[in-house]
Amino acid sequence: MRKIIHVDMDSFYAAIEQRDNPDLKGKPIAVGGSDKARGVIATASYEARKYGITSALATKVAKKKCPRLIIVPPRFSVYKDVSRQIKEVFYKYTDLVEPLSLDEAYLDVTENKLDMKSAILIARRIKEDIEKEVNLTASAGVSYNKFLAKVASDYNKPDGLTAILPEKAQSFMEDLPIEKFFGIGAATARKMHRLRIKKGIDLKRMSKLELGQHFGRSGQFYYDIVRGIDNREVNPDRPRKSVSEETTFAEDIVLEKEILSVLKKQCASLSDTLKKNNIQGKTFNLKVRFKNFETITRSKTIDFYTSDKKHIYTSIEKLYKALKNEREVRLLGVGMSNLDTELDGKQLSLDL
Ligand code: DCP
Ligand code: MG
The pLDDT tens digits of the residues spanning 75-133 come to 999 999 999 999 999 999 999 999 999 999 999 999 999 999 999 999 999 999 999 99
Active-site amino acid positions: 104
**CATH of range 13-76; options 3.40.50.300, 3.40.50.1100, 3.40.1170.60, 1.10.10.10:** 3.40.1170.60
Mutate to test the pocket of ligand 1, among 78, 103, 161, 162 (most ligand atoms within 8 A of CB): 103
Per-chain residues with Cβ under 5 A from ion ligand 2:
8-9, 12, 103
Instruction: Determine which residue's CA is closest to atom 23 belonging to ligand 1.
Output: 11
pLDDT at res. 346: 41
For the CA of 14, the nearest atom of ligand 1: 14
Residue ranges, comma separated, of all CATH 1.10.150.20 domains in the chain are 168-225
pLDDT at res. 352: 30
pLDDT at res. 240: 74
SS (H, E, C) the chain: CCCEEEEEECCHHHHHHHHHCHHHCCCCEEEECCCCCCCEEEEECHHHHCCCCCCCCEHHHHHHHCCCCEEECCCHHHHHHHHHHHHHHHHHHCCCEEEEECCEEEEECCCCCCCCCCHHHHHHHHHHHHHHHHCCCEEEEEECCHHHHHHHHHHCCCCCEEECCHHHHHHHHHHCEHHHCCCCCHHHHHHHHHCCCCEHHHHHCCCHHHHHHHHCHHHHHHHHHCCCCCCCCCCCCCCCCEEEEEEEEEEEECCHHHHHHHHHHHHHHHHHHHHHCCCCEEEEEEEEEECCCCEEEEEEEEEEEECCHHHHHHHHHHHHHHCCCCCCEEEEEEEEEEECHHHCCCCCCCCC
The pLDDT tens digits of the residues spanning 172-222 come to 999 999 998 888 888 999 999 999 999 999 999 999 999 999 999 899 999
CB 54 near ligand 1, within 6 Å: no
How far does residue 137's CA lie from ligand 2's centre (Å)? 10
- Model pTM score: 0.75
Residue ranges, comma separated, of all CATH 3.30.1490.100 domains in the chain are 242-340
CB 13 near ligand 1, within 6 Å: yes
Residue ranges, comma separated, of all CATH 3.40.1170.60 domains in the chain are 13-76
CB 17 near ligand 1, within 6 Å: no
How far does residue 11's CA lie from ligand 2's centre (Å)? 5
- The CATH superfamily of 168-225 is 5' to 3' exonuclease, C-terminal subdomain (1.10.150.20)
The pLDDT tens digits of the residues spanning 200-210 come to 999 999 999 99
**pLDDT greater than 60 at residue 345:** no
**pLDDT greater than 80 at residue 348:** no
The pLDDT tens digits of the residues spanning 27-86 come to 999 999 998 888 899 999 999 999 999 999 999 999 999 999 999 999 999 999 999 999
Q: Which fold has domain 242-340?
A: Dna Ligase; domain 1 (3.30.1490)
Instruction: Determine which residue's CA is closest to atom 20 belonging to ligand 1.
Output: 11
